[in-house]
Amino acid sequence: MSFSDSRLRPFGIFFEKSLKDLINGIRSHNHNAHELHGFLTKSVSECREEVKSPDMTIKTNSILKLSYLEMYGFDMSWADFYVLEVMSSNDFQQKRVGYLAAQQVFHEDSDMLMLATNCLKKDLSNANALKVGIALNGISSIISPNLARDISKDLIKMLRHSKPYIRKKTVASLFKLFLQYPEALRDDFEAFVEKLHDEDTSVVSATVSVICELCKINPQPFMKLLPLFYDMLIEIDNNWIIIRLLKLFTTFCKQEPKLRLKLLPKVLNLIEKTTATSLIYESINCIVKGGMLTADDVDTAVQILELLTKFCASDDPNLRYVSCVLFYYIGKINTAFIYSFDKLVIELLEDVDISIRSKALELLEGIVNEDNLIEITSKLLKQVAIEEEDYTSTVSGISYKITIPIDYKIKIIKSLLYLFSLNDYENISLFEWYITILGDMCDMVLYLKTSIGASNNNVYSKEISGLGVLVGKHLRNVAVKVPEMRDQVVLAIIKIISNSNIYSELSSILVNLFWTLGEFSSLIDNGNDLIRVLISDKEGLVVKLSPVDLKTLFVCLLKVYSNWVNASNTGHTAERNLEEVQKLCKELIEFYEKFSVSVDFEVQERSTQIIEFLKLSFEALEVLNNKGSEEETSGEGQEHQLPGKIELPFLVSDVLPGFFNSWELVPIKQGTQLKLQKKMDLDTSVPFLTAEEIAELDENDVENSFYEDIDDDYNSEVKDQYETSDSDIMDENPYPKKNNKLSKEKIDNPFYLQDDDDDDADGDNAIKERDLLDMNDNTSDTIQTNLDRIQKNKSALLLDTNNSNSGINIQVSRPGRNIDNVSTTQSKKKSKAKKKKIKIISDSTLYNDELEDKLFVNTSSITDKTHRPKNGIDLNLKTNLKNFDFSKPFTTKIGDDEYIEEEDIDINQLRKQFENLKNNDDSMNFKDGEEEEVIIIKKKKKKNNNKKKTNSGKSKKKSKKSVAIIDKEDE
């Protein structure tokens, strides 16, 4: 330090920068990032020089600036020793700066904590209460298991300090100490619990608060204090302590259910007597979250719900929010409790606070019904559709202009979708309205995705793509579970896929849409037009789809083609001639060939398989088409041609539908397949069939071989079909060989699916059966379903692609319905109209397993939990208390692997252990010619004999030292 500095410092003149100067410099360079970084780097370099100064004022000032610069990302762990020096200062201000920096420098694995232990013990015994308080605050922030073990006894002694300020801070510091070193709580439990009877209320409050927080982690050691806490709840008048006790009883009630009977009347009485809003809320919270409110306790529920209703009408948004939270928990106990509060919940959906609206969404499950579902949906979708900055809400007569965030809009759509499908659509009376809403939701999700892409905000991109999957699943589920609405669902799906933006912005919805479109493509009459629209791909969007979408599309196109080719007479058979079927088959082959060299193996494999089958079908169609042309030229084969029917090869008429129509799919409960896999007990070492069974099957195969039928009957059928004379085609039964083969297969094949109409397969019935088979229906149930559909003149979807500019236009025709008469009848009987019963197929269950069903809990309506990022900051306290067993006695480690109990420690055993360790190391630690210098330390015991003994002589030769502990009685 220069002479001028030493002369001017006593007068308050400094030449180094203070913290204020550093902050002013940062603000002056804040306009340029490069200049700011240079200034900060220079400041750190200056601090590195100043911290080496012997002047504690300069050193302290440098540590203070480093603590501030650490917020800008500069590491100051290199200054840990200088921080310890400032902590050891006798000046109060300097010591406070040192403890502040220690919280940023000293970590759990820091070696400097070992050096700081003596400093902490010295400060804890300081006569200045302020310095003791600083040390206690610092301990709470830098505590580690080793440090906690070293200073635990010192903190326990501080509980008996004469000043309440120190006792209160000591209790607060013990919370962090008990988390790191639970043994201290077990060993000094009585001394800690004594503070519940302290004469100062602040000490009692701090003790109750610490116990409350410890019980959240491990309530085991405090369960025996339940009578004491109950007496405090009755006798004490401090509202803050009562609130902490209520929180404490909330934890205890979860551990001891019998506590409810004694505690519930007291809490209800407390609600009636007090006027403090905070205390009333905590009492209700204790009843609800503590498990005191049961599903059949209606009186208690009514009493607390009346109070929560008043809270929801409060001007305090915090009170409204916490009331919504309690409403949610009460609804989880029994939905009937909140069922009558539908108007209140609907009002909360338009609250000025978005967080309150978000909580109100979780209450909808308890109040929704078929009467208010449309109103709720209208209000919520309006919030999704309206621009964020233009929404206005009115609360208490005051108009607020608020913005609606995207995450809230996403939650709205998720909540509505969950409400729609609740209990097999029990709240939906108009499925046409529901399907329309799903289409509108698709447009809204697409708009959200487009707006996110325009703003380059990818935070919610994944969630919005998930919404597309949900909407697609709901459309699929309606088609599967509500058979009467399948034509409307197919119509809505075609409308959705006509939007080219879907392929580029919201392709996640396409998997379920393609599957549904293919599964119920029999409802589409002009499927050829739909196929051409999908495979034309003028904008190249289909080729860019993901492999999952393409695999589903491949099967969808094949199903649509199969159903269109084999469809019965529906009035649009002019286009479905053999040439048109062959032409469309060729177009499909060209489309699939685009993906035969795809980089995705499964896409390549599926496309190649379909191409090979379609090529075989195309060749068969070509042969049949050539044969038909020859017959037309000769003028034969026209008299007995069925109206609207065309002859198709066996591959197209039977094999292709057989790929998809063997069984009708039914919905199953979510998770059934997973549980079925767990139930299966498969031993791979045991063969499926024994040798006798295999031999029997071989004999049956020889006698009734399906391939023998193929060699004989099928080959003769193909030969008769393509090589017979023209007179054979004029026969009444156009497929004599085929019918004989199928009849034989019915008798010989034990796995053949029998139809109810098989016995009447002649004459007109045979023609009718063949027509139904062409419609891809092999089971009696499916045949009956199609008969009912035809007889009732169900609507057919007409696909009009003439106007290419407007996309796909769809008209729904109901040929057997007089709209005028229906409308007149409905107007006359409007007052007596009843809800139309619609058949809904419930989920099938393979077996009843209530225990495993609990594993598949619906989480749609549960409060969203924010998960910590993988590399984020963990704000959870690290603790060893959670799994600590207080029932085990204290143990001490001796050597490497030997443990003895504290109460059984024997001084002679310890002496022998140390002597054995010393003898084992003598030969290794000393060389020849060296003598060991032995320092004898006397260990005195408390006895009446206080005579002093002199130590033995010491050798002055250089040697290593060892210490022997000699008992007073051995001398």
- In sequence order, the 6+-apart residues with CB closer than 8 A to the CB of 115 are 84
Q: How would you classify the pairing of strands 961-967 and 933-939?
A: parallel
pLDDT digits (tens, 9 = 90+) for 458-492: 678 888 889 999 999 999 999 999 999 999 999 99
The vertex-739 CA angle with 733 and 742, nearest 5°, equals 170
Say which DSSP state 645 is in: -
First to last CA, the chain: 59
Reduced to 3 states (helix: H, G, I; strand: E, B; else coil), residue 755 is coil
Q: Where are the alpha helices (DSSP H) in 29-144?
A: 33-50, 56-69, 80-87, 92-105, 112-124, 129-142
756: exposed, middle or buried (Cβ count in 10 Å: 0-12, 13-18, 19+): exposed
As a whole number, the mean pLDDT across the chain is 75
Q: How far apart are CA 549 and CA 333, in angstroms?
A: 42
Say which DSSP state 655 is in: I
Bridge partners of residue 275, in order along the sequence = none
Locus of tokens 């499908």: 421
What residues of the chain score a pLDDT lower than 70? Answer: 1-16, 108-110, 388-398, 400, 453-458, 538, 568-576, 628-646, 676-684, 700-836, 846-878, 880, 883, 885-971
CB 231, CB 264: distance < 8 Å: no
Q: How far apart are CA 126 and CA 100, in angstroms?
A: 19
Q: How far apart are CA 326 and CA 332, in angstroms?
A: 10
Q: How far apart are CA 256 and CA 226, in angstroms?
A: 10
Say which DSSP state 386 is in: S
Helix or strand run (H / E) with residue 558 = helix 547-565
What's the pLDDT at 740? 43
Q: Where are the alpha helices (DSSP H) in 297-430?
A: 298-312, 317-333, 342-348, 354-361, 364-367, 373-385, 406-420
Rounded to whole angstroms, the maximal C-alpha distance in the chain is 143
Return the amino acid letter for 746: K
Return the amino acid letter for 82: Y
Quote the distance between the C-alpha of residue 338 and its chain's center. 26
CB 796, CB 525: distance < 8 Å: yes
Q: How far apart are CA 585 and CA 606, in angstroms?
A: 17
Q: How far apart are CA 926 and CA 929, in angstroms?
A: 9
CB 279, CB 270: distance < 8 Å: yes
Reduced to 3 states (helix: H, G, I; strand: E, B; else coil), residue 715 is helix
Helix or strand run (H / E) with residue 810 = strand 809-813
Backbone angles phi, psi at 189, to 5 degrees: -65, -45
Q: How far apart are CA 189 and CA 222, in angstroms?
A: 10
Phi-psi region of 726 (alpha: psi -120 to 50; beta: other; left: phi over 0): alpha
Return the amino acid letter for 576: R
- In sequence order, the 6+-apart residues with CB closer than 8 A to the CB of 690 are none
Concatenated DSSP letters of 668-695: B-TTHHHHHHHH----TTS-SS-HHHHH
Q: How far apart are CA 564 and CA 571, in angstroms?
A: 13
Q: How would you classify the pairing of strands 891-894 and 898-901?
A: antiparallel
Nearest of 442, 517, 510 to residue 486 by alpha carbon? 517
Q: How far apart are CA 717 and CA 710, in angstroms?
A: 9
Say which DSSP state 108 is in: T
Q: Each residue of 124-160: b (16+ CB within 10 Å) or e? A: beeeeeebbbbbbbbbeebbbbebbebbbebbbebbe
Return the amino acid letter for 959: S
pTM for the structure as a whole: 0.70
pLDDT digits (tens, 9 = 90+) for 100-130: 999 888 876 567 778 888 899 999 989 899 9
Q: Which two tokens stand for residue 735?
A: 């497929």
Bridge partners of residue 285, in order along the sequence = none
What's the pLDDT at 632? 59
Task: Give how far Cα 507 sits from Cα of 415, 491, 531, 541, Å.
Answer: 22, 19, 19, 10
Concatenated DSSP letters of 405-426: -HHHHHHHHHHHHHHHTTTTTT
- In sequence order, the 6+-apart residues with CB closer than 8 A to the CB of 111 are none
Backbone angles phi, psi at 692, to 5 degrees: -65, -40
What's the pLDDT at 209? 94
Q: Where are the alpha helices (DSSP H) in 775-895?
A: 780-791, 819-828, 850-853
Return the amino acid letter for 838: I
Return the amino acid letter for 958: K
What's the pLDDT at 631? 62
